[in-house]
Structure 1
Amino acid sequence: MTNYQLPKGLIVSCQAPESSPLHEPGVIAAIACAAVNQGAVGLRIDTPAHVSAVRSRVNAPIIGLWKQQIPGYEVYITPQFKHAEAIARSGADIIAIDATLRNRPDGESVEILIARIHDELGKPVMADVDTIEAAIAATAAGADIVGTTLYGYTPQTQHLSPPGFDLLTQMVEQLNVPAICEGGIASPQMAKSALELGAYAVVVGTAITGIDHNVKAYRAVFPNTEPQNF
């Protein structure tokens, strides 16, 4: 494993729905550049193509992932080693994985996946979790960073709404690795609250880069306006 150190501060998630014009690698790279130009210390990027495009334009740390829907399994953030390998080869500095306690494809445990990423790819791992139990297990399995990313997005936490400040507080108190707050951060004040609770860094996505989602939300107050496809 490398001794790579993620800076403290704002990490911007630059992602877009596959149906969006923003999904083009060059567009994602431009958004990432804009984020770094304004002081983001890192980026969170999905898919090898997007990681490669961003890597070609910025030197800032990239937390890379690859969302994959595998029939019969709920885990979808870099679920298998082959996905981690593709992200690493595309230029990511840190590999994000789903580290919830759900069943995994091929029976490859979180511990085995993290060990392979460390040993074979030489990359640190960010464990995306939903509960403190998953966070503790991920840390024991060797995760270098743990994030609240999946709080509110799993069957066990679907009754909860991000941001997971309660989970963040537990992680800060009980883990010996950096705790990152990700998910549901909708304003600078919310990011500040996360920092005050002890977050090492804060990931913001939709509130900054989610043009499709945000325009749709605003359009809801204009009932006679229909979306246009270009």
Structure 2
Amino acid sequence: MKWSKEEILTKIKGQLIVSCQALPSEPLYVEEKSIMYLMARAAKQAGSPCIRTSSVRDVKAIKEETGLPVIGIIKINYDGYDSYITPTMKEVDQLVEADSDIVALDCTLRKRGDGSTINDFLSDIRRKYPDIILMADISTYEEGINAWKCGVDLVGTTLSGYTDYSPHHEGPDLELVSRLSTDLDIPVIAEGKIHYPEQAVQMLDAGAYAVVVGGAITRPLEIASRFISAIEKRNTNE
């Protein structure tokens, strides 16, 4: 099933979107087949109305398993590109072919290896795929405003703290969510460093249209590491 923009926005408003991803370097990545559909199954049973995932195979597997709308990305590193989330048209083509309901991409103002700007890239995407739903992953207020002016459908604070020039907090960027939610007339999706349920609620209270949480739910290595780090710190201070 392919979901319309109106259906998706109605479904996700005020809700938690769970990000189910496993990259080749991570413990839950299995070469033979996707197992992220199991994480997505759990997310759906918990009440999540939408899933964010990485790679064509996981988009397909999760859509088949859950029937939920899927935000698709492809993470890949290219020489000369600072961005790695859906950085070129090749990845956009693949996500469209896989029936991603929303295509998310890095919309920071960082260097692009082909010499184009993010504005050029977004314009090219719109010419080729005028009807797809685009989510801009940004790291600063200025990038969010720029992506909005370029005609994206949603803005996500995904990359705040992951670029050299954005604020580096241990937790989520509440101020960025609040400012963008006030100034944009499209949905702002709070994402990035949301580790606790209370923080997700804070994002919604700050004006976020919906919240994406990944690592705190679906990455056991990251979750276990946080617990172990806290205990090691306690033991060191004894």
TM-score higher than 0.5: yes
2:203 to 191, 194, 200: 194
* SS of residue in 2 equivalent to 1:138: helix
Which one-letter code corresponds to 1:133 in the other structure? E
Shift of 1:119: 4.2
The one of 33, 36, 41 equivalent to 1:33 is 41
Matches within 5 A, 1:96-175: 96-121=104-129, 122-157=131-166, 159-175=168-184
Does structure 2 retain, via aligned residues, the 8 Å contact 1:84–1:95? yes
The answer on whether the counterparts of 2:20 and 2:40 sit within 8 Å (CA) in structure 1 is yes
Deviation at 1:27, TM superposition (A): 1.5
What amino acid maps onto 1:4 in structure 2? K
Distance 1:185 1:222 in 2: 22
Deviation at 1:85, TM superposition (A): 1.1
Q: Distance in 1 between matches of 2:35 and 2:232?
A: 28
1:211 maps to 2:220: yes
Is the 1:80–1:105 Cα contact (8 Å) retained in structure 2?
no
CA contact (8 A) 1:151 1:161 kept: no
1:120 deviates by: 2.8
The aligned residue for residue 18 of structure 2 is 12
The alignment's TM-score, normalised by the length of structure 2, stands at 0.86
Q: 1:10-89 to 2 correspondence within 5 Å?
A: 10-24=16-30, 25-89=33-97
TM-score, structure 1 normalization: 0.89
Mapped to 2, the partners of 1:209 and 1:119 lie a distance apart of 35
Runs of at least 5 residues in structure 1 that lack an aligned partner in the other structure: 224-230
Task: Quote the offset at 1:162 in angstroms.
Answer: 3.8
Distance in 2 (CA, whole Å) between partners of 1:108 and 1:196 is 37
Query: How far did residue 87 of structure 1 move?
Result: 1.3
CA pair 3-55 structure 1, distance change in 2 beyond 3 A:
closer
Q: Tell me by how many angstroms 1:158 deviates.
A: 5.3
| Structure 2: stretches of 5+ with no match in the other structure | 234-238
Whole-Å separation in 2 of the counterparts to 1:26 and 1:187: 27
State the secondary structure of the residue aligned to 2:211: strand
8 A Cα contact 2:80 2:111, kept in partner: no
Counterpart of 1:228 in structure 2 is none
- 1:77-135 residue CA offsets vs partner (Å, 9 max, x unmatched): 10111101101211210000100111213234333433443443331100000111000
Change in Cα spacing, 1:124 to 1:118, as seen in structure 2 (3 Å) is: farther
Instruction: Find the aligned partners of 1:112 and 1:95 in 2 and give their Cα distance.
Output: 17
Give the counterpart letter for 1:14 in structure 2: C
CA displacement 1:53-88 (0-9 Å, x = unmatched):
112212111010011111122111101111011012
Verify the 8 A CA contact 1:14 1:32 in the aligned structure 2. yes
Aligned alpha-carbon RMSD (Å):
1.9
